Structure 1
Amino acid sequence: MKLAQRLIACGVAIIMAVVAMEAQAQAMKASKAKVRQVRGEAQYKANAAADWAPLKTGMVLNPGAIIETGRGAQVDLFLSDIGSVVRITELTTMGIDKLNYSRAEDEVIVETELNLKAGTILGNVKKLAAASRYDVKIPNGVCGIRGTEFKVSANGVVYVISGVVRVTYTPPGGQPIVRDVQAGQVFIPPAAAGEQPQVRTVEPNDPVWQQVKDMPSVTPPPEIQVEPLPTPTPTERPTQQPGHPTGTPSSSPAPGNSPS
């Protein structure tokens, strides 16, 4: 009897968990990425099967899009619903795998997954809700972002300027290595098999400080507001005096002089 009750209780718990997961999944909405700025040559695919096309400022990209930058190029993406800005540097290939969000009471839960296949990106992410996930995948691991200013390269080097990034790095033929990289630190992957990764303090003269400082704000730029021109004030008509045409000022003889 007790065994049956336990089985029933377990079954109910499983059903409730599944229902809760489905409800959360249904509440999630797909977001979009807006191309805030493009410098140099960059191209994109709407999805893996699509053809490459020029990337231009003002475009809106859906999840599944892939971006590729040329030499000297730079692309800024604004993820409005996610609360994030991503700067894609030159010679970089990055996919937007997931951009989901849901609003619950006074917080926003996000599920973001960027796939950094080659090159380097910089990011600025607002503080996330506890249930949120913001991951940057790299060929040998994944970086879990938590309300952070960061710089991630596909080779596994991760800079953290503010916040925390949990780096899970799997060296070739090895086991996953997990490190929590704090603000002001850089994660450097092992150079050879059998070695451990290093977490160092970022030097004060490292260019990354200025690179992150130059990032655009997470807050969206204000829309250009066209103010109406003021209504012109009607010009006052001069007072007409007897014997003079309208608009012509009258003249009086100077004192002591008589008119000729």
Structure 2
Amino acid sequence: MKKIHGFAQNILAGAVALMVVAFATHATAQTPVIANPANQEMVAKVVNVKGKARVSTDGKTWQTVAKGDLVKPGSVIQTAGNNSLVDIVLGTKDSTGTVGEGGAQTISHRGSGGGADSVGQNVVRVYENSVLAIDKLTLEQIGADEVSDTQLDLRAGQIMGNVKKLSAASKYEIKIPNGVAGIRGTTYLIAASGVVNVLTGSVVVAVVDKDGSVVTRVVSAGFRYDPATDKIMPIPTKVIDNLTAEYKRLNYPPQTPPTTYPKDHTIVFVSPNQ
């Protein structure tokens, strides 16, 4: 399929947005809206790099990606070679993170308070021979809610990620050459071809068919959608096991020391004369 532009892309984004909003607002209470005009720009922090990877802010000049780099919106990440990958965490500029074995990380976001909630934030793994553009990352405080807008553009290859629970007004979208996917509270694997595997949550996918019509599908946990066949099928058990293991390597909580220690029950005899 040819890459879609302009009007068609807007139609796709609109279709996904409407369905995502429908899901988010179902059984959600209305809260007073007090807008804060100051939007906060987020960044993608590189927490793990393997093999060859580079980043560009203008599409012309490239720099090698290194662990700890902060990648701003408007940048493009590219991986090359077998088994190369880049793991990024999406957060505010004052986020901090450490990487343990297997790419585990603890990220502290503004307002998260650290602790358990700081593990398993919005993480994206960019696989080998992939191109991912970070189009938009913003955060706005509206009333008691944090409203985020995340827009990624997967131009080649595939990515895996998880999305924490979002507020009803928040948006997390991934463009692909022939469509767009809307993601909420989901663990996913998506390829530039449009094939989507969903481990948890659900993904709304809108793609342009061969005749130019827009096809919208909702993919639930444990299922895979392939736009080439327009079929939603259960993910094979072996594939689910492999994806689950891969996700654990991507986002496994770091080991912490025990909070309690075994008591020493050794009996010590003391002479009454000393």
Equivalent in the alignment of 2:74: 64
Return the structure number with greater strand share.
2
Q: Secondary structure at the match of 1:73?
A: strand
Residue 202 in structure 1 maps to residue 212 in structure 2: no
Tell me the TM-score normalised to structure 1 length.
0.69
The count of residues paired between Structure 1 and Structure 2 equals: 192
Whole-angstrom distance in 2 between the partners of 1:173 and 1:65: 33
Listed as ranges, the gaps of 5+ residues in structure 1 are 1-22, 192-196, 223-260
Q: CA deviation at 1:25?
A: 8.5
Q: C-alpha separation between the residues in 2 aligned to 1:100 and 1:110? A: 6
The residue type paired with residue 234 of structure 2 is T
Partner of 2:63: 53
The answer to whether the aligner puts 1:212 opposite 2:270 as a matched pair is no
The residue that corresponds to 2:180 in the other structure is 142
Report how far residue 177 of structure 1 moved. 0.6
In structure 1, what is the Cα distance between the partners aligned to 2:193 and 2:159? 12
Q: Match for 1:157 among 183, 192, 195?
A: 195
Q: Give the alignment's Cα RMSD to 1 decimal.
A: 2.0
Question: TM-score, length-normalised on structure 2?
Answer: 0.66
CA distance in 1, matches of 2:35, 2:224: 35
How far apart, in 2, do the equivalents of 1:25 and 1:139 lie? 34
The letter of the residue matching 1:69 is T
User: Could you give the per-residue CA deviations for residues 33-52 of structure 1, whole angstroms, max 9, x where no partner exists?
Assistant: 1000110010110233x401
Q: What is the aligned counterpart of 1:168 among 202, 206, 214? A: 206
Measured after TM superposition, the shift of residue 215 of structure 1 is 1.7
Is 1:92 the counterpart of 2:151? The answer is: no
Measured in 1, the distance between the counterparts of 2:152 and 2:177 equals 12
Q: Deviations over 1:41-86 (max 9, x none)?
A: 10110233x4011111110011000000011201000112484100
State the shift of 1:212 in Å.
2.1
Q: Deviations over 1:70-125 (max 9, x none)?
A: 11201000112484100000000000000011123443111000000000000011
> Is the CA contact 2:35–2:143 (under 8 Å) kept in the aligned structure 1?
no
Task: Tell me the equivalent position of 2:106.
Answer: none
Establish whether residue 102 from structure 1 lines up as the match of residue 140 from structure 2: yes
Q: Which residue of 2 aligns with 1:225?
A: none
Report Cα offsets for 1:199-234 as digits up to 9, x if no partner: 0111111132322232225x8x79xxxxxxxxxxxx
SS at match of 1:150: strand
**Aligned residue in 2 for 1:249:** none
Return the structure number with greater relative CO, CA threshold 8 A, min gap 6. Answer: 2
**In structure 1, which of residues 34, 42, 46 is the aligned counterpart of residue 53 of structure 2?**
42
Question: Percent identity among equivalent residues?
Answer: 35
Q: SS of the counterpart of 2:238? A: coil
Task: Tell me if 1:116 matches 2:140.
Answer: no
CA distance in 1, matches of 2:142, 2:246: 34
Runs of 4+ in 1 over 4 A off after TM superposition: none
Which secondary structure state, in structure 2, belongs to the residue aligned with residue 210 of structure 1? helix
Specify the alignment match of 2:25 in structure 1. Answer: none
Structure having the higher Rg: 1
Question: Which of residues 31, 45, 69 is equivalent to 2:42?
Answer: 31
Give the secondary structure class of the aligned counterpart of 2:251: coil
